[in-house]
Amino acid sequence: MLLKLKNVTKQFSGEDLFVDASLEIKNNEKVAIIGRNGCGKTTLLRLITGEYEPDKGEVIRTSGLTLGYLSQKAFEDEAMTVRQAFDQMYQGLLKVREEMDEIAAQLEKHYDEKLLSRYSGLQEYFEMQDGYNYNQQQLTLFTRFGFSLDDLDRPISSFSGGQKTKIGFVKLLLTKPDILLLDEPTNHLDMQTIEWLEGYLKKYPKAIILVSHDRMFIDKVASEIYEFEFGQLNHYVGNYTSYIEQKKQLFLSQQSAYRHQQMEIKRLEEQIEKFRYKKNKAAFAQSKIRYLERMERIEKPRSDQRKLKLHFESNIRGGNQVLTVDNLTIGYDRPLCTVSFQLTNGQRLAIIGPNGLGKSTLVKTLMGQIEALSGEFMYGHQIEVAYFDQQLAQIDSQKTVLEELWDLYPEYDHTAIRKILGAFLFTADDVFKQCNVLSGGEKVRLALAKMMLSHANLLILDEPTNHLDIAGKEALEDALMEYDGTIVFVSHDRYFIKKLAQQILYIEGDSTKLYKLNYEEYLDKIRGIEPARKKEEEVSPKKETVLDAKTQRENAKKAAALERQISRAEEQLEQLRALRFEEEYYHDYQKMNQLNEQIDDKHNEIARLMEEWEQYAG
C-alpha cells in the first residue's frame, strides 16, 4: 500500500465538500478521479500532497513515498534555460558520473582494488537510475510535447503560459515519482500529443492519480475510477467504458431492489390493516409490524439530474450552400496552410491537427478577425453565423451574469432571462455574480447561452468543450446533434469529435486534407483499413411474413393457453411471496433463502411464458 485516504471529510465555508471519502493506491495502479466541476477533485489531490489537511479522517502515506504534482509555479527561476532547469534534477546523478570519470582516469594510471570496488558500486547505482539514458529521456519527452531541440537553450521566461505548463509537465515526468498526480493533463495538448501521452502513461512503471474530463483519455489510461457524486466518493474497477456500464447496472439494480421493497412494505401494511382488529389474527398482524420495524430500508436511488438544458435552433434555414472556401491561404507573417472545402446545409465539419498549424487561424479568418493571405471564402444566401471562441468566452466584465445576457437580448423579459440562465445552471444568487469572478466553466456556459439565443443557422466553434465537465460535454453534444443548422468546430476532444463529425478537415501545413468521413472512418482510412462493404442481402428490406387464416387461429389458441398459464404462475408467485411473512420462514435464514430462490424461479418462468406469448399474440 502506497497511499490510503480513510473516511476523509473536507469542509469549505462550514459546508461539507465531501464526506467519508476513502481511496487506496497500491503498486502501479492507474486511477482516475471524475465528477462535476466544484465537487472536490483538485481538493482531494491537495489533501494527498499535504497542502490541505482533512477535517475528519486521515491520509496515510507509506514511508519515503515520493509524490509528483504539477504546480502552477513549476520553475522558481525562469531566467534559466530549459536545459539548465532539467539538469538541476540530475545534479546527484551528474556528480556520480563525474566521480566515475575521475576513478576511471586513476585506474588507467595504476590498478587499485579499493578504487575498482568503488567504481563498481557507483556504476551499479548509475545504471539503476538509468543514468546512461537520462539525456535521451529529456530529449524524447521534450520533443514529444511539440518543442524543438533549439528550445532547450531558450530561457523559460520566453515561453507562453501554455508552453511553460507543458515544460513543467515534462519536468514532472522526468522525476518519475512513486505516485504521479495529474490535474487535467490534456489541457493545452493537441490530439497527437495526447495519444502519445496515453501510451507513455499506460507504460509508466509507477502509480498515477489523474483528474480529467477527457473521456477517451481516461478510457485509455485508467484501470480504476473514483467518482464524486452527492458528496460521496464511489469506486469502480475498470476503465471509463466499464464504469459507464457498471454505474448503469448498479442504478438499475438499486432501483429494482427499492421498488420490490416498496411493494413488500405496501403488501405488509395492507395485511396489517386487514388483520390487526381481528381477534384471531391480531398476533399475525403484530408479527408483521415487528417485521416492518426490523426491516432495513433501502434508500431510493438518486441520479444527478442537474444538466445543461441547451437547445440550438435557427430562425431561418438559409441557402443550401452554406460556405465555400476556395484556395484560402491563411497565416500571419507567413502562410500556415491553404484550404478548400464546401459545406451544405446541416453538415458538421471537424477541424483537427497539431497545435500551431492553422486550426484557430482558419476560423478567425472565416470570422473576419484575420485577413486572408490569398484565396477567398463566401457564405451562402441568408447565412447567419454565431461564433464561440475560448478567448471571447473568458468574459472580463463587472456586469452580473443577469445583466450580461439581458443587455445583449433586451427583447426578453426578466422571467425569461432567469429561466434561460437556470437552464445553464445559473440558479438563485448565481445570476448576480459578476462575470469577472466566474470560473472557466461558468464563463463557457454563459457564452453558450448567448450563442443559443442568437438562433444562427451556422455555428463556428473553437474548442467549445474546454472547461466543461463530463456532464456539460454530454449535454452540449446532445444539443448539437439535434441542431437543425450547420456546424464547423475545432476540437481535441476525440469523444466529442466521434459523436458529432460527419467530415474531417485535417490541417498540418502542406498535408492539409478534407475527408468526407466520420471520425471512425477517418481513423480507419489513415491506418489503411478499408471500410467493410455491406452485402446486398444485409441492406435489402425484409419481407413481411403473411400468415394464413389457419395459422392465425392456431396462434390465437396458443396465446390464450399461455395467458391462462401466466395467470396461474402469477397466483403462485403471490402465494410464495406471502410465505415470506410466515414465522417459520422469516425466523429461518435457510428456509428464507430457499423461498427466495423459488420466487426468482417463478419470476423467470413468468418472463419465459410472456416471451412465448408475445410470439403468438402477434
Q: Work out the pLDDT band at 542, boundaries 50, 70, 90.
A: very low
Decide if pLDDT at 540 tops 60: no
Question: Would strands 232-237 and 321-331 be described as parallel, antiparallel, or unpaired?
Answer: unpaired
Looking at mean pLDDT, say which of 361-365, 395-399, 467-471, 603-607 comes out highest: 361-365
- What burial class does residue 568 get, using C-beta atoms within 10 Å of its C-beta: 0-12 exposed, 13-18 middle, 19+ buried? exposed
Q: What is the average per-residue pLDDT within 143-150?
A: 89
Q: What pLDDT, on a 0 to 100 scale, did the predictor assign at position 536?
A: 43
DSSP state at residue 548: P
Beta bridge partners of 506: 352, 513
Q: What pLDDT, on a 0 to 100 scale, did the predictor assign at position 531?
A: 63
Judged by DSSP in three states, 42 sits in helix
pLDDT-above-90 percentage for the chain: 43
89 and 51 in a common domain: no
Q: Can you say whether the dihedral through the CA atoms of 486, 490, 496, 501 is positive or negative?
A: positive
Q: What pLDDT, on a 0 to 100 scale, did the predictor assign at position 588?
A: 63
Decide if pLDDT at 548 tops 70: no
Decide if pLDDT at 411 tops 50: yes
Question: Would strands 458-462 and 385-389 be described as parallel, antiparallel, or unpaired?
Answer: parallel
pLDDT-above-70 percentage for the chain: 93
Q: What is the average per-residue pLDDT within 147-174?
A: 87
Decide if pLDDT at 159 tops 60: yes
DSSP state at residue 580: T
- The Cα 577–Cα 582 span in angstroms is 10
499 and 587 in a common domain: no
77 and 21 in a common domain: no
Q: What is the dihedral of CA 513, 516, 522, 528, to 10 degrees?
A: -80
- The Cα 110–Cα 101 span in angstroms is 15
Q: What pLDDT, on a 0 to 100 scale, did the predictor assign at position 432?
A: 92
User: Is residue 36 one of the residues assigned to a domain?
Assistant: no
Strands (E), 403-485: 458-462
- The Cα 518–Cα 495 span in angstroms is 12
Decide if pLDDT at 281 tops 90: no
Decide if pLDDT at 422 tops 80: yes
Q: What is the average per-residue pLDDT within 328-334?
A: 90
User: Is residue 424 one of the residues assigned to a domain?
Assistant: no
Q: What pLDDT, on a 0 to 100 scale, did the predictor assign at position 92?
A: 81
* pLDDT tens-digit map of 438-450: 888 888 899 999 9
Joined together, the cell numbers standing for residue 533 give: 462493404
92 and 163 in a common domain: yes
333 and 282 in a common domain: no
Closest CA to 160 of 143, 146, 180: 146
Q: Work out the pLDDT band at 617, boundaries 50, 70, 90.
A: low
Element housing 22 (H / E): strand 15-25
User: Of 530, 565, 586, which closes a domain?
Assistant: 530
Q: Work out the pLDDT band at 563, boundaries 50, 70, 90.
A: confident
Decide if pLDDT at 403 tops 80: yes
597/86: higher pLDDT: 86
Q: What pLDDT, on a 0 to 100 scale, did the predictor assign at position 303?
A: 73
Q: Work out the pLDDT band at 89, boundaries 50, 70, 90.
A: confident
Please identify which residue in the block is written with the cell numbers 495502479.
Answer: 29
User: Of 530, 559, 589, which closes a domain?
Assistant: 530
User: Of 146, 174, 202, which closes a domain?
Assistant: 174
129/80: higher pLDDT: 80
Q: What is the average per-residue pLDDT within 551-580?
A: 77
Decide if pLDDT at 381 tops 70: yes
Exposure string of 109-131, with b = 16+ CB inside 10 Å and e = fewer, is eeeeeeeeeebeebbeebeeeeb
58/544: higher pLDDT: 58
- The Cα 609–Cα 61 span in angstroms is 57
Q: What pLDDT, on a 0 to 100 scale, did the predictor assign at position 586?
A: 55
Q: Quote the domain boundaries for residue 363.
A: 321-395+438-530
User: Is residue 221 one of the residues assigned to a domain?
Assistant: no
Q: Work out the pLDDT band at 213, boundaries 50, 70, 90.
A: very high
In this prediction the pTM is 0.73
585 and 526 in a common domain: no
Q: What pLDDT, on a 0 to 100 scale, did the predictor assign at position 323?
A: 95
Joined together, the cell numbers standing for residue 548 give: 394464413
User: Is residue 102 one of the residues assigned to a domain?
Assistant: yes
390 and 339 in a common domain: yes
Out of 176-185, 454-463, 582-591, pick the least confident. Answer: 582-591
Cα angle: 90, vertex 96, 97; to 5 degrees: 90
The mean predicted confidence, pLDDT, of the chain is 86
Q: What is the average per-residue pLDDT within 576-587?
A: 69
Q: What is the average per-residue pLDDT within 487-492?
A: 95
- The Cα 330–Cα 339 span in angstroms is 8
Question: Would strands 207-211 and 30-34 be described as parallel, antiparallel, or unpaired?
Answer: parallel
500 close to 481: Cβ distance less than 8 angstroms: yes
266 and 129 in a common domain: no
Q: What pLDDT, on a 0 to 100 scale, did the predictor assign at position 73?
A: 63
Decide if pLDDT at 162 tops 80: no
Looking at mean pLDDT, say which of 215-219, 229-233, 569-573 comes out highest: 215-219
Q: What is the average per-residue pLDDT within 378-400?
A: 86
Q: What pLDDT, on a 0 to 100 scale, did the predictor assign at position 581?
A: 64
600 and 522 in a common domain: no
Out of 70-74, 342-346, 486-490, pick the least confident. Answer: 70-74
Q: Work out the pLDDT band at 326, boundaries 50, 70, 90.
A: very high
If you write DSSP's letter for every residue of 492-528 in order, what string do you get? --HHHHHHH-SEEEE-SGGG-EEE-S-HHHHHHHHTT
Q: What pLDDT, on a 0 to 100 scale, did the predictor assign at position 482?
A: 93
User: Is residue 472 one of the residues assigned to a domain?
Assistant: yes
User: Is residue 509 one of the residues assigned to a domain?
Assistant: yes
User: Is residue 7 one of the residues assigned to a domain?
Assistant: yes
209 close to 33: Cβ distance less than 8 angstroms: yes
What is the total count of domains within the chain?
A: 5
Q: Work out the pLDDT band at 578, boundaries 50, 70, 90.
A: confident
329 and 288 in a common domain: no
570 and 523 in a common domain: no
130 and 249 in a common domain: no
Q: Work out the pLDDT band at 34, boundaries 50, 70, 90.
A: very high
Q: What is the average per-residue pLDDT within 193-203?
A: 90
478/287: higher pLDDT: 478
- The Cα 182–Cα 46 span in angstroms is 11
Looking at mean pLDDT, say which of 134-138, 208-212, 262-266, 573-577 comes out highest: 208-212
Q: Work out the pLDDT band at 517, boundaries 50, 70, 90.
A: very high
Per-residue CA distances from 206 to 131, 178, 199, 213 (Å) = 18, 6, 14, 22
User: Is residue 599 one of the residues assigned to a domain?
Assistant: yes
